[in-house]
Copies of this chain bind each other. A is one copy, B any other.
């Protein structure tokens, strides 16, 4: 490599490192605001987080970054880079180019708009008043249409938005995914609804002491291989996981004393995210590749642990006795099979974040179809509530009594996160497909689970997925791990094989 290119590479790596340092600082402040900070200081703190994010953004689109990228993208230079540096250049170039295409003043106007919109959304949701939120949402959609046109896309305009969250994913692919899921899940959910033999889940609503719940979550997290020497578990209003660096990956949970499932399964979910971040290869630390391959791939890790492990029968063969010891009064009269069936109740409902494993994807389907129509121009913001309610009736058989439990229920749109929802279902798809590959590599998986041998599972995930961070695109990663491209059939099969027996169907 020529001396000047070598120097540029060095300078580029410094820029990347600085960007990650801003991320890490903003991450600590974010975590602190949600877990520790006194209310009094939050206003000033928000401004500091905004400042750090702004500095990060400024660097990512700086002329200096542009000059580095230009020089490193020259074919004879690029060709000499190793894989990590090539991917770093690609990642940074993508962010640089996308953002340079938006006029800075439009960017600022949009940032102001979304900052205001969240507060308006919150009040509108509480009041169930869509009309109140509608003008803001109309402006946000208009901005994003404009931005999508600046960014450019092939095929559907919505592709330009999806790209932000799931690189390479397109409407064409998602249409296929959701068509198959609709075709197989809508009837499955209907059949389940009519099944004569329904689980009794009432014992999950008994009073479960918070401290004991916390202890059990910690125990399971340790069993999963979550490293408490490189993380911690705290309480926040909404559970989340945050990777500050690979040796400091924190998770939060919350407790509902009358809902045993909430804290444990949200801990396993966030624990799945955290295992990903804790096991990214050290050489990617301090770079923008120290991250998940995409939101969907990240979600696959949380869903895998939460549902495919945490809501499986073999897992509870091993851990149910421990759980009963922790809650002898609450679970003393409950058998393993009844417990397993109770934590796997499928029941259409109105609120996505409270949905079970199966119907969850129908909640996402509704949002996907609406977002796509908003960006193709087939649907006006004004018509959203009606379209929302119609799709809930058709796919889930339930209808919101007001918009607060309908079209206003999610925060995402107020922040302009269109194209984000599909990644939740992609997470489930990837998880099912990865699980199938794992089962192929480890035919005695269920026996191991029944013995609590979670170590080899985490190691397989670590070697196949975690260590690569963002080094491969989701598509590349799925092919590497499973030998084929993403296929929604595996999720549908997993659901059928799991839930038909639970509900005594066929």
Contacts and interface: CB of A to CB of B under 8 A. Distances in A.
Nearest to A227: B40
B228 A38 contact: yes
A156 interface: no
B38 A231 contact: yes
Contacts of A244: 41, 44-45
**Nearest 10 CB-CB pairs, A to B?**
A41-B248, A40-B247, A40-B230, A44-B245, A41-B247, A21-B51, A21-B48, A24-B48, A40-B229, A25-B25
A32 B38 CA distance: 14
Nearest to A33: B28
A43 B232 contact: no
Contact of A43 (B32, B36, B247): B247
A290 B228 CA distance: 37
Interface of A: 18, 21, 24-25, 28-29, 32, 36-45, 47-48, 51-52, 227-232, 244-245, 247-248, 250, 285-286
Contact of A230 (B38, B228, B231): B38
27 contacts: A21-B47, A21-B51, A21-B52, A24-B48, A25-B25, A25-B48, A28-B28, A28-B29, A32-B32, A36-B36, A36-B232, A38-B229, A38-B230, A38-B232, A38-B250, A40-B229, A40-B230, A40-B231, A40-B247, A41-B230, A41-B247, A41-B248, A42-B248, A44-B244, A44-B245, A44-B285, A45-B244
A248 B37 contact: yes
A56 to B, nearest CB: 12
A39 B248 CA distance: 8
Most buried by B among A21, A32, A41, A42: A41
A480 B231 CA distance: 50
Contacts of A38: 228-232, 247-248, 250
Contacts of A47: 21
Total copies of the chain: 2
A248 B28 CA distance: 15
A18 B52 CA distance: 10
A134 to B, nearest CB: 34
Contacts of A51: 18, 21
B286 A44 contact: yes
A28 B228 CA distance: 21
Contacts of A44: 24, 244-245, 247-248, 285-286
A28 B24 contact: no
Contacts of A40: 227, 229-231, 247-248
A64 to B, nearest CB: 15
A18 B51 CA distance: 8
A227 B40 CA distance: 9
A54 to B, nearest CB: 10
B28 A32 contact: yes
A24 B36 contact: no
Nearest to A52: B25
A224 B495 CA distance: 60
Nearest to A51: B21
A47 to B, nearest CB: 7
A21 B26 CA distance: 12
A222 B285 CA distance: 43
A25 B24 CA distance: 11
A45 B20 CA distance: 11
A29 B245 CA distance: 13
A227 B43 CA distance: 17
Given A25-B25, A38-B228, 12 more contacts: A25-B29, A25-B48, A25-B52, A28-B28, A28-B32, A36-B36, A38-B231, A39-B229, A40-B248, A44-B245, A44-B248, A44-B286
Contacts of A39: 229
Nearest to A231: B38
Contacts of A231: 38, 40
